[in-house]
Structure formats: structure tokens, C-alpha cells
């Protein structure tokens, strides 16, 4: 397991677990068990390229825990994917699902590839071969993959079809995040952004502040950031700044988000947007004077170099790990409220769970029902975290991990250790 557990992200995750476990009084045996995955798979993925050469890519699937239910976690295609990174993310999925109260364990998968350089035919071949290599380890009752960085609904459709072809019949429940036409769920696309806004609403309630008129700056205008902006706008908030990798725009009176999304969806950039705005850099967005900052782009976007420039009163982590450890401490000292990623961006996996439930029951919900159930789950999870944080006088990130570990500990102790 040395290659798996030696990476920086893996060790950092272990440190977070140990810190929370001390505060929550977690059984030492449980701490030892959650520090290692149940199963870790490394596979070769040979692909015949369009020029008829053969390339071999490294593929991984790490299944961390199934104490609470089937393994669940995304598959990412990125050139920086490593065994250790996938292992750490699988561990974090276990804790996210536990925190959210879902009957699911944690897993993660990936292929070390720059998918942007592949043709559609090469991407499909890669996906189908990777699926074949891990097909003995996945399934609707054992391990349910989903989209992640570099993958999407089409990728899930190829995985579902490849798995189904090997089984001899359609198995829609083997993956989530599929197109609606083949068993996907309504509401899945915008779920992560909507979940973040539901969390923000709950925090504003306990702070006795209205959503209407709240000023918000959002870094990242991909799936999560754009949907968070839209749902905030629809609830009366004032989105005053947004950005992507190339920069951003701002308007202290508020940006017309529906019009911006319409423009961005066709142009893939902010340039040329007809509504009043000024141009800003990503550093300027992070320093925007506003009530709420939502970093929804890459991990480590706010670090010790720029954390002191944050003027928001609340930070909602839409991305995974957008605050470094140093930045987290700086913001806490400044009295900034933080909704951690393990909670804030849980909307995606919640609706993935709903999709899986709909697939295995062959009964589908309308979008209103999906969103209503998403809100219930997010409200309950936020309440658990906030109550624990207030009672123990600790920060919300540590509280979230403590709540997660307590549920996992109870389940593991009830199930016991096999064999005796």
C-alpha cells in the first residue's frame, strides 16, 4: 500500500481524520481501520489511437469503505491522476457520504490521461476498456461510479453500456450522472450548485440574515459556479462578481445571471457580455467586498498568500479543497464563517443517490421532488454540523468531520470485525 498511502493529499487527509478523531473521541481501532482502503485496484488501459498506434494508460479504482452501503464515487480523467490521489479522494467520499446521512460508502477512480487531447473515438475506446478492466469490481449493489473531473454524462453512458453488454442486459444502476434518456435523474446537472445555496440559506437563517440582497462573488463559472450563481439570483441574492480561468466581471449593483449564462453558454467567455460590468482578475474577485465568497473552481485557490485579502463574511466551498490549511486558519482568525466542502458541495452525490434509488426501483421523480428532497438532506446535514460546532466550540470543518466519523464509528462497531 506504500505507493497508495505515501502521497501528500493522502497524508493530509489522515491528519485531518486524526485531529477530528481526537476531538470526537473515536475508538482507536476505528481510526486504524479508516486509514486504509478495503480494496485498491490498478489496471492497464491499452487503447488503439486514431493513427493506429497503441498507447497504454494507467487506470485506478480505490474502494475505501462499504460499512454504510455500496461504494460510491466519481471517475476522473486527468493527466495528474495518481494512485495516492485517488486513494485520498476515496477516503473523503466515505466521510462525505457519512456526513450527509447517505447509505453509501466511499470510492474513487481515475485514468491518468489528458482527455482534451483525445478524439471522441479514442475517448470512447479508453472508457470502454477501463470499464472492462474494473467490471468485476463495480455494480449497482457493490460500487457505483459517477462523473468527476474530465468525465461527464456521455462517459457514464459508455460505462453503463459497456457493463451492460458484458452482463447481457441493461443495468442503469451501475453508474449515476447518466443522461436522463437512459436512466439519469432530473435535477442532477445543477445539484452541486443548488446544494451549496441550500447550505448558504441555512447559515443565513442561524445568523438571522435574509437571502434577498445578500452580495455574492463566485470564483469559477463551470457547472457548479454557474448553477450556484443562478440559484442565488433566483432567490433574490445579488451576484456582484464572477470569474473563470481567464478572469472575470463585476458589477456592485448585481449581474444579470440568466443573461450571462445565455451569453457564456455560446461564447465560452465573458468577453462581449452586453450588460454593464467591469473587468476583474481572479485575485480581485477573491478580494471582492461582499457578504459571501464561493470558490467553485480549483483546489488551493485561496492560500496563505491571498487569504488576508478576503473581505467576505462567509465562504462557501463549492469546489473540493479550495482553501489550503494555512488559508483556513487565517480566515478563521478573521472571524469568517466557512461552510466546508465536505458539506457545501454534497448536492451532487445526494442527487446521485436519488438517481441510483430511481434506477433500482424503476420509478422516476419529477425535478420538483428531486430538489425538495435535496433540500431536506442538506438542511439536516447542516443542522448536525452547526449544532456540533456550537456545542463543542470548534470550527465547522472539524465539526463536519467529527459528525461524519461518529456515524461511521457507530456503524463499524455495530457490524463488528470479520472474522473474529
CB of 292 within 8 A of CB of 217? yes
What is the C-alpha separation between 120 and 390, in angstroms, rounded? Answer: 51
Burial (CB count <10 Å: 0-12, 13-18, 19+), residue 119: exposed
C-alpha cell, 219: 470564483
C-alpha cell, 190: 445543477
Query: CA–CA distance from 249 to each of 230, 318, 385 (Å)?
Result: 16, 19, 34
- Which of 302, 336, 297, 295 is closest to 317 using CA atoms? 295
At residue 32, the 3 state secondary structure works out as helix
What is the C-alpha separation between 179 and 220, in angstroms, rounded? Answer: 24
What is the C-alpha separation between 208 and 196, in angstroms, rounded? Answer: 18
| Residue given cell 480549483 in the structure block | 298
Other Cβ atoms within 10 Å of 41 Cβ, number: 18
Backbone conformation region of residue 393, classed left if phi is above 0, alpha if psi is from -120 to 50, else beta: left
| 3-class DSSP string for 220-262 | CCCHHHHHHHHHHHHCCCEEEEEEECCEEEECCCCCCHHHHHH
Classify strands 106-112 and 54-65 as parallel, antiparallel or unpaired: antiparallel
- Which listed residue (72, 79, 96, 108) is catalytic? 108
Active-site residue flag, 334: no
CB of 404 within 8 A of CB of 342? yes
| 3-class DSSP string for 189-219 | CCHHHHHHHHHHHHHHHHCCCCCCCCEEEEE
What is the C-alpha separation between 235 and 94, in angstroms, rounded? Answer: 32
Q: Which residues are designated catalytic?
A: 108
Amino acid at each position: 500500500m506504500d505507493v497508495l498511502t505515501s502521497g501528500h493529499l493522502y497524508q493530509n487527509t489522515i491528519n485531518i481524520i486524526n485531529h477530528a478523531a481526537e476531538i470526537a473521541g473515536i475508538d482507536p481501532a476505528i481510526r486504524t481501520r479508516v486509514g486504509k482502503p478495503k480494496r485498491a485496484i490498478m489496471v492497464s488501459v491499452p487503447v488503439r489511437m486514431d493513427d493506429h498506434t497503441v498507447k497504454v494508460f494507467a487506470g485506478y479504482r480505490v474502494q475505501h469503505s462499504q460499512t454504510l452501503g455500496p461504494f460510491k464515487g466519481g471517475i476522473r480523467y486527468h493527466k495528474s491522476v495518481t494512485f495516492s490521489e485517488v486513494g485520498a479522494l476515496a477516503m473523503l467520499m466515505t466521510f462525505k457520504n457519512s456526513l450527509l446521512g447517505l447509505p453509501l460508502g466511499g470510492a474513487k477512480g481515475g485514468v491518468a490521461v489528458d482527455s482534451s487531447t483525445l478524439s471522441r473515438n479514442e475517448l470512447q475506446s479508453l472508457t470502454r476498456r477501463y470499464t472492462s478492466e474494473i467490471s468485476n469490481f463495480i455494480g449497482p449493489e457493490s460500487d457505483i461510479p459517477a462523473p468527476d473531473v474530465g468525465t461527464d454524462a456521455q462517459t457514464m453512458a459508455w460505462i453503463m453500456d459497456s457493463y451492460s453488454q458484458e452482463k447481457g442486459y441493461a443495468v442503469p444502476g451501475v453508474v449515476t450522472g447518466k443522461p436522463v434518456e437512459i436512466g439519469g435523474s432530473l435535477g442532477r446537472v445543477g445539484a452541486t450548485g443548488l446544494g451549496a445555496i441550500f447550505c448558504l440559506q441555512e447559515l443565513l437563517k442561524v445568523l438571522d440574515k435574509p437571502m434577498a440582497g445578500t452580495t455574492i462573488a463566485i470564483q469559477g463559472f463551470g457547472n457548479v459556479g454557474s448553477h450556484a450563481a443562478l440559484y442565488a439570483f433566483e432567490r433574490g441574492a445579488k451576484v456582484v462578481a464572477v470569474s473563470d480561468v481567464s478572469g472575470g466581471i463585476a458589477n456592485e449593483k448585481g449581474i444579470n445571471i440568466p443573461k450571462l449564462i445565455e451569453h457564456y453558454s455560446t461564447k465560452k467567455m465573458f468577453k462581449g457580455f452586453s450588460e454593464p460590468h467591469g473587468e476583474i482578475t481572479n485575485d480581485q474577485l477573491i478580494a471582492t467586498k461582499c457578504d459571501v465568497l464561493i470558490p467553485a473552481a480549483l483546489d488551493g485557490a485561496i492560500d496563505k498568500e491571498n487569504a488576508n485579502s478576503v473581505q467576505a463574511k462567509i465562504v462557501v466551498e463549492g469546489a473540493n479543497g479550495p482553501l489550503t490549511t494555512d488559508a483556513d486558519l487565517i480566515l478563521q482568525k478573521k472571524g469568517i464563517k466557512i461552510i466546508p466542502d465536505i458539506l457545501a458541495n454534497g448536492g451532487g452525490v445526494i442527487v446521485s443517490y436519488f438517481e441510483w434509488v430511481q434506477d433500482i426501483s424503476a420509478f422516476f421523480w419529477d425535478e420538483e421532488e428531486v430538489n425538495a428532497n435535496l433540500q431536506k438532506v442538506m438542511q439536516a446535514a447542516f443542522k448536525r454540523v452547526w449544532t456540533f460546532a456550537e456545542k463543542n466550540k470548534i470550527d465547522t470543518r472539524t465539526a463536519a468531520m467529527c459528525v461524519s466519523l461518529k456515524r461511521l464509528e457507530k456503524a463499524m462497531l455495530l457490524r463488528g470485525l470479520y472474522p473474529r
